[in-house]
Amino acid sequence: MNVRTRISGRLVAAALAGSLAAAVFPGIASAQAVTVKVGGQPLYLNPGPIERSGRVFVPLRSIFERLGSTVVYTNGTINATRRQTTVTLHIGSTQAVVDGQPQILDVAPFIVGATTYVPLRFVAQSFGAVVGYDAATRIVAIRPPAGGGYPVYPPQPPPRPYPPPYPPGNPAQLRGQEPPPGAVVSNRFATISAEFTRQVRPNTIRVWLDGNDVTYRSNPSGYGFSYRPPAPLNFGGHEVRVSGTDVNGIGFTRSWSFTIGGGPQPGPVQLRAQRPEPGTRLADRFALIAADFTREVNPGSVTVRLDGNNITNRSGVSSTGFSYKPPAPLEFGEHTVRVTGRGAGGADFDRSWSFSIIRSMPPVPAPGMRLTITQPAPNAPVGQTFVVSGNTVGNASVTVTAGATPSDTGQFRGTTTAGPLGNFRITVTLNSGLGQQSVTVRVVATNPNNQRTAETTLQLRLR
């Protein structure tokens, strides 16, 4: 006997109760507008169906138990058994098994709050039944196969309207928050969830945890959301914020806080290993600006400012530090870096330090050495290829290097020998990076008689 002929008709009834609205009868816009009758009796679902990705999902446990099936849930695996038929499903997986035969779901089962939902199109296609649909009354009538043997229950009263009793016009509120507002919990993987007091448009829902958008991991529906942290939460305070629009078009924003306890008590966040070091005077106008935090922070709360300008979006920020590479040369003079945010324990911090960019002074040549650059002039505009010429001692060896910063010589390196009168000329061709606005050229002359050197550095603008 094949799978289709052995499956309980009542399981089919449970499946088609939610899925026919979106999958079998495309004219139905909402699963909640459909009335389902099994053997002539209305079948009520509470919580109601949820629509996601073009499929309708219904609560598995309530349906199976209503139809006389035994349901066992263990570590994300659902086993539903009735007579000789067994259906196995896995939360978050499209792999299923029906009477030992592997099957593929269109959409994986998921959990909202304490309720497990399954995509019913798969069940409707796998289990046989006779189904009729009246488009005028939006009634789905399910007639199980002969000999189905499903239990007969007295008619159920309609469920209490959900969500409750806020009058129309009031914005949606939250209820059933987990962890509860103000709670101190020790489970660092605690599920974060809440229900809405009125139906909400699922595609408008946004969920933030400590300023980080976790919507895509939160299984949002019209009635609530549920988020399971993929990594242990930090010790200390956490804030959950939810926003969206209800079915009447009224927007809302709600939040609550809880605490993960049991960890070390966080102290104030300080900065360490600042780069450049506080009070430093340096000539590198492209100096890396970075610092480490003495304690973990909430990355989404960190703001980095340089001389009052917000550079957070250009900075690499993590829970342990930040770094920023200037895209253009820093101005000469003093610069102040200010970092604000919130530590993992919820305490705010505000830290700053300063450094200075100075004009580089040419080294004093050794006795018996000289070096003069005649072309190009300091801060002159140049192209990708330009000429460096000057004068030094006769027959000196002249080395020219170029790079984006004074410490970088990777864009050009060349050597020439000055003439008897000390004149030299060398052509520089740069391999510059995208968006580079300046180049630093370093010229070093070495006296062949005594190995004494003289050097100079030019800061040039790229056209």
CB 398 within 8 A of CB 426: yes
DSSP state for residue 270 in the 8-state scheme: -
User: Residue 229 and residue 255: Cα distance in Å, rounded?
Assistant: 18
Of 86-95, 180-189, 419-428, minimum mean pLDDT range: 86-95
Confidence check: pLDDT of 222 > 80? yes
Q: Residue 415: its pLDDT value, please?
A: 93
Confidence check: pLDDT of 393 > 80? yes
Instruction: Name the more confident of 101 and 143.
Output: 101
CB 77 within 8 A of CB 90: yes
Q: Please report which confidence band the pLDDT of residue 67 belongs to, taking 50, 70 and 90 as the band edges.
A: low
Average pLDDT over the chain reads 78
User: Which tokens sit at 133?
Assistant: 């649909």
Instruction: Name the more confident of 201 and 236.
Output: 201
The 3-class secondary structure across 120-154, one letter per residue, is: HHHHHHHCCCEEEEECCCCEEEEECCCCCCCCCCC
Confidence check: pLDDT of 310 > 90? yes
Confidence check: pLDDT of 62 > 80? no
Write out pLDDT tens, residues 102-160: 888 878 888 776 677 777 656 655 555 565 656 676 665 666 655 555 555 555 555 44
Domains along the sequence of the chain with CATH: 3-143 (3.30.457.10), 174-260 (2.60.40.1220), 271-357 (2.60.40.1220), 371-462 (2.60.40.2550)
User: Residue 329 and residue 14: Cα distance in Å, rounded?
Assistant: 68
**Mean pLDDT, to the nearest integer, of 311-335?**
90
**Mean pLDDT, to the nearest integer, of 178-200?**
91
Rg (CA), the chain: 36
CB 242 within 8 A of CB 178: no
Confidence check: pLDDT of 38 > 80? no
Instruction: Name the more confident of 69 and 174.
Output: 174
Task: Write the single-letter amino acid at 170.
Answer: N
Instruction: Name the more confident of 326 and 363.
Output: 326
Confidence check: pLDDT of 22 > 50? no
Contacts of 386 (CB under 8 A, 6+ apart): 376, 427, 428, 460
Which helix H or strand E contains 251, and what residues bound it?
A: strand 251-260
Write out pLDDT tens, residues 269-302: 899 999 999 998 888 888 899 999 988 888 888 9
Q: How far is CA 323 from CA 290, 306, 404, in A?
A: 4, 12, 18
Which helix H or strand E contains 14, and what residues bound it?
A: helix 9-19
Write out pLDDT tens, residues 433-460: 666 778 889 999 999 888 888 988 888 8
Q: Residue 101: its pLDDT value, please?
A: 85
Task: Write the single-letter amino acid at 241.
Answer: R
User: Residue 222 and residue 262: Cα distance in Å, rounded?
Assistant: 35
User: Which tokens sit at 235?
Assistant: 């010790």
Confidence check: pLDDT of 338 > 90? yes
User: Residue 213 and residue 146: Cα distance in Å, rounded?
Assistant: 51
Which of 261, 199, 26, 190 lies closest to 121 in space, CA to CA? 26
Q: Please report which confidence band the pLDDT of residue 97 belongs to, taking 50, 70 and 90 as the band edges.
A: confident
Confidence check: pLDDT of 21 > 50? no
